[in-house]
Amino acid sequence: MKTGDEVGVLFLCVANSARSQIAEGLARQRFGDRLRILSAGSRPTRVNPLAIETMKAVGVDLTTHHSKLVEDLDPAGIELVITLCAEEVCPAFYAPVRRLHWPITDPATDATDEPMAQRLHRFEVARRSIASKLDIIEPALALPPRTVVAPATDDDRPELEALLVGCGLPIEGLAQASSVMARIDGVAVAAAALEEWEGFGILRSVAVAEAHRGTGLATALVTDRLCAARLAGLRSVSLLTTGARGYFERFGFVAGDRSSLPPALGASTQLELPACSTAVAMTLALAT
Ligand SMILES: CC(C)(COP(=O)(O)OP(=O)(O)OC[C@H]1O[C@@H](n2cnc3c(N)ncnc32)[C@H](O)[C@@H]1OP(=O)(O)O)[C@@H](O)C(=O)NCCC(=O)NCCS
């Protein structure tokens, strides 16, 4: 990973009040000794007291933080921008940096009649969700500049399918998976997907367009899907591969007998496809 005081990671949301402040606090706790961690918003307000409270529980003090306007930041050295908006439009950041999109529902609400414990719980959910994704920051900093990684939407489906077909991978059952895609200058260049079956996962559709292989795209997207599997509390993640066994061993996947796959995975189309009948089964156990 690129490191040094000069390498900046910027978290953005609208108000720079809850999500991006929590993200800044968590990322600084983990990477603060080697990266410059920043946050800002398009309509800054003030740091939400419940964000301060939820971060206190994990030993991070946000009381000295302030909500900042993105235009007021010095963009020099910012290599990675992470946008956290879900329904709202996140502020734009025009420098040619890498970008990750982590849509997280705003835990703040105007409902004043909601019990405090319930309000705080929503902040804790947001904090856990953000904390689960921090593993992606290091592989993301190694990606080519101008790469954008975001969850695939229905609108992305035609390009996603074309990418998989181009890489010789099946598209059956893709609707049952949650996919993430990488684009460079708007062109879809890589994907990975996770299927969940009764507490067990299947990693599938790990594909990188041939011209972009060897640039860390698959590493970043596989890491992203494994973070999602951990957040969902999956017990293990399995996959089938014909040519990439050595690749997945890098992540700790272990090849095993196909009959030893969790029975719940029998519901996946992946196990029925003739194209996968000669594939090796691999599994990564996740700590629960
Ligand atoms: C396997 C695949 C996803 C790797 O993508 P990638 O973007 O090149 O991977 P990364 O850039 O993250 O990693 C590159 C490293 O992995 C190694 N690697 C790539 N493919 C490999 C394979 N099939 N077996 C062993 N190692 C492999 C490279 O040699 C490189 O090593 P280095 O870091 O020591 O230089 C890509 O080759 C691909 O799309 N293949 C076709 C589809 C496929 O088989 N998918 C897997 C089944 S779902």
Q: Where are the domains of the chain?
A: 8-141, 151-285
Q: How do residues 197-256 score in pLDDT, each as one tens digit?
A: 999 999 999 999 999 999 999 999 999 999 999 999 999 999 999 889 999 999 999 999
Residue 208 region by backbone torsions, left for phi larger than 0, else alpha for psi between -120 and 50, else beta:
beta
Instruction: Quote the ligand 1 centre to 214 CA distance (angstroms).
Output: 7
Closest atom of ligand 1 relative to the 204 alpha carbon:
48
Q: 287: pLDDT confidence band, cut at 50, 70 and 90?
A: confident
pLDDT at 258: 86
pTM above threshold 0.85: yes
The CATH-assigned architecture of domain 8-141 is 3-Layer(aba) Sandwich (3.40)
Spatial separation of the C-alpha atoms in residues 18 and 107, rounded to whole Å = 7
Give the burial class of 59: count Cβ atoms within 10 A of its Cβ; 0-12 exposed, 13-18 middle, 19 or more buried: exposed
Angle at 92 between CA 90 and CA 98, to 5 degrees: 100
Instruction: Quote the ligand 1 centre to 247 CA distance (angstroms).
Output: 6
Spatial separation of the C-alpha atoms in residues 101 and 83, rounded to whole Å = 5
Question: At 126, is the secondary structure helix, strand, or coil?
Answer: helix
Name the nearest CA neighbour of 44 among 11, 76, 9, 4: 11
Give yes or no for residue 215 CB within 6 A of ligand 1: yes
Tokens of 101: 């999109």
Spatial separation of the C-alpha atoms in residues 278 and 221, rounded to whole Å = 25
Name the nearest CA neighbour of 27 among 145, 148, 137, 150: 137
Beta pairing, strands 98-101 & 147-151: parallel
Give yes or no for residue 189 CB within 6 A of ligand 1: no
Weakest mean pLDDT among 35-44, 184-193, 247-256, 264-273: 264-273
Tell me which residue has its CA closest to atom 14 in ligand 1. 214
HSE-CB for 15 with a 13 A CA cutoff: 14
Give yes or no for residue 214 CB within 6 A of ligand 1: yes
**Which residues belong to the active site?**
13, 85, 90
Instruction: Quote the ligand 1 centre to 278 CA distance (angstroms).
Output: 19
pLDDT at 263: 92
- Asked whether 108 and 18 are in contact (CB, 8 A), the reply is yes
Beta pairing, strands 98-101 & 78-83: parallel
Instruction: Quote the ligand 1 centre to 24 CA distance (angstroms).
Output: 32
Tell me which residue has its CA closest to atom 30 in ligand 1. 214
Closest atom of ligand 1 relative to the 215 alpha carbon:
11
pLDDT at 3: 60
Beta pairing, strands 187-197 & 177-184: antiparallel
Does domain 151-285 fall under CATH 3.50.50.60? My reply is no
Give yes or no for residue 244 CB within 6 A of ligand 1: yes
From first CA to last CA, the distance across the chain in angstroms is 28
Q: How do residues 67-109 score in pLDDT, each as one tens digit?
A: 999 999 988 899 999 999 987 788 777 777 999 999 999 999 7
Whether 170 shows a pLDDT value over 80: the answer reads yes
- Asked whether 204 and 265 are in contact (CB, 8 A), the reply is no
Tokens of 191: 């994907």
Give yes or no for residue 234 CB within 6 A of ligand 1: no
The mean pLDDT of the chain is 93
Tokens of 235: 């017990």
Spatial separation of the C-alpha atoms in residues 199 and 4, rounded to whole Å = 39
